[in-house]
Amino acid sequence: MVGVNKDVEHTVGREGYGTGLSRRHVQMIAIGGSIGVGLFLGSGGRMHSIGPALVLAYALCGLAGFFVMRALGELALYRPSSGSFVTYSREFIGPWAGFASGWMYWMNWATTGVAEITAVGTYVQKWAPGMPQWITALLALGVLLLINLISVKVFGELEFWFSVLKVVAICAFLAVGIFIAIDGSNMGGGVTAGPHNLVAGGGFFPNGFGVVLISLQAVIFAYSAIEMVGITAGETANPQKVLPKAVNAVAWRIAVFYIGSILLLGMALPHTMYNGDASPFVMVFSKVGIPAAGDLMNVVVITAALSSCNSGLYSTGRILRSLAQRGEAPRFAGRMSSRQVPVGGIALTAIVYLAGIVLNFFVPKEAFDLATSVAGVGVIATWAAFLYSNARFNARTRRGELERPSFRMPGAPWTNYGTLIFLALVVVLMGFTDETAQRIAFFIAVPGAAVVLIIGWLCVRKRSHAAARAEESEQAQLS
């Protein structure tokens, strides 16, 4: 029997939300969360600099992602909540942890969304070079904002079809990749596909094992959004049945879509042939003579960018409302529409995206590289919140204070702490990379964010504690 906190299930986190997300929506949102621009576009540059050993980085981060999802799944079944890790961090770590993790998550999506919505304009210029980039980005933002404001069901439907397109593209590449690797197809220039390319051009570790470790932060950022499943829990019909299957499916998706794709990329061509300026998938499709490969992949990359922005608006709207309910975010961020949509939080994130579109013309590219590096730290902070909250939850179940669901974190609490150590190592390694953006993020941006969060908490803690007392009083009356 799945244990759920019945007293608060419908009064905390889920209050005011509908249940418009069906099983197929949640399943495909889970898939969409694990396939993004980081795979379709960013893996080319990483493959060139790291070599075939990049597959190890994806495997290590994928294992961490699996434990994060299992920790999240157990918490989500204990209490389905659109406040997700903010709700769990408050209960099992402390109010300050909910505040810090919520704003770190918002920072992640705010910076990521700005980069992605701007990228949409860049990708569209392939077909319409005369179209100003800002107009395309603005139109895309307007459409996504409208979809998020209509209803959660409309959001789920759009994300479903975004995910379908991405999955079709990945499956097509996997089929082509397996065929050419077995067939030993001629890739041009005297190069043939096959396992031998995994050790061509300097071996499996052409630049050493150290670069594999240094790449972990970027790979974790590529995995960001898999936690979307937890946020959908508060608007999912029958979460006890839907969520375990969605969470478990993340493991094989990571293995097949990410690890499988990187492995096949390594077999298709020597790593030296890839670069950061072109999608590695387009390169492989083009080498085997698939017509219009560039145009088809451009559609997929645009879809991935739109999907990312769509998810950002959805998730931050729910997280900001959870913060606003405790006085930890501007009051208007907690506003709900008659359609059961957190319009205030969505609007706040959309304003940041809009400002980013404008700033893109005045801020150099390096600033966006720094923003995404800081966003990667936001992902790690979110994952750490899930893991530590789950460890504290399990400690309380062992004392008999709470009932543990049948869907559980395997190997807890040792897997919790082991994964937390791994994530801490990833952050520390940012200080040893040659990439300027990551070094600035580690030595300046991360400490700066910590200072801002401490000051912010000192400013709102009285309102937060007062809201918590009012909430406890209301729950006591209900019980």
pLDDT digits (tens, 9 = 90+) for 137-191: 889 999 999 988 888 888 888 888 888 888 888 888 899 999 999 999 998 888 9
**204 or 121, which is more confident:** 204
Contact 290, 176 (CB under 8 A): yes
User: DSSP secondary structure string, 351-375?
Assistant: HHHHHHHHHTTTS-HHHHHHHHHHH
- Which of the two residues, 285 and 361, has the higher pLDDT score? 285
pLDDT digits (tens, 9 = 90+) for 231-261: 776 667 677 777 787 787 777 777 788 889 9
CB 91 within 8 A of CB 329: no
Residue 389 pLDDT more than 90? yes
Q: What's the whole-number average pLDDT of the chain?
A: 83
Position 15 in a domain:
no
pLDDT tier at 425 (50, 70, 90 boundaries)? very high
Residue 362 has pLDDT above 90, yes or no: no
Q: For helices 293-324 and 95-124, what crossing angle results, to 10°? A: 150
Q: Between 297 and 361, where is the model more confident?
A: 297
Query: Cβ atoms within 10 A of the Cβ of 402, count?
Result: 18
Question: Which residue has better confidence, 151 or 81?
Answer: 151
- For 446-467, the pLDDT digits (tens) are 888 899 999 999 999 999 888 8
386-390 average pLDDT score: 94
What stretch of H or E contains 187?
Answer: strand 186-188
Residue 4 confidence (pLDDT) above 50: no
Element (H, E) at 81: none
Domain assignment present for residue 126? The answer is yes
The whole-angstrom separation of Cα 262 and Cα 174 is: 10
Q: How does residue 18 score in pLDDT terms, banded at 50, 70 and 90?
A: low
Domain assignment present for residue 92? The answer is yes
User: Which is higher by pLDDT, 417 or 237?
Assistant: 417
pLDDT tens-digit map of 318-336 = 889 889 988 999 999 889 8
Query: Looking at the domain assignment, is residue 3 inside a domain?
Result: no
Percent share of the chain, pLDDT over 70: 88
Instruction: Report pLDDT for 5.
Output: 43
Give whichever of 76-80, 103-107, 152-156 has the largest mean pLDDT. Answer: 103-107
More confident residue, 219 or 392: 392
**C-alpha to C-alpha distance for 138 and 147, rounded to whole angstroms:** 14
pLDDT band (50, 70, 90) for residue 214: confident
Q: Report yes or no on 478 lying in a domain.
A: no
The reply to whether 10 falls in a domain is no
Q: Say if residue 39's pLDDT is above 80.
A: no
Instruction: Show the 3-state SS of 223-268.
Output: HCCCCHHHHHHHHECCHHHHHHHHHHHHHHHHHHHHHHHHHHHHHH
- pLDDT of 3 reads 44
State the CATH number of the domain containing residue 63. Answer: 1.20.1740.10
Specify the pLDDT at position 369.
65
Per the model's pLDDT, the better-predicted residue between 347 and 157 turns out to be: 347
pLDDT for the residue numbered 292: 80
Looking at residue 368, what is its pLDDT? 60
User: How many CA atoms are closer than 13 Å to the CA of 221, on its beta-carbon side?
Assistant: 29
Instruction: Identify the pLDDT of residue 355.
Output: 82
For 35, the 3-state DSSP assignment is coil
For 52, the domain range is 23-470
Span of 44-48, 228-232, 331-335 with lowest mean pLDDT? 228-232
Query: What pLDDT does 8 receive?
Result: 36
| Residue 15 pLDDT > 70 | no
Contact 380, 219 (CB under 8 A): no
pTM of this prediction?
0.86
At residue 246, the pLDDT reads: 76
Domain assignment present for residue 344? The answer is yes
8 Å CB contact between 228 and 311: yes
Domain count, the chain: 1
More reliable by pLDDT, 6 or 350: 350
> pLDDT at position 7, please?
39
- Tally of CB atoms within 10 A around 474: 12
- Let me know if residue 55 belongs to a domain: yes
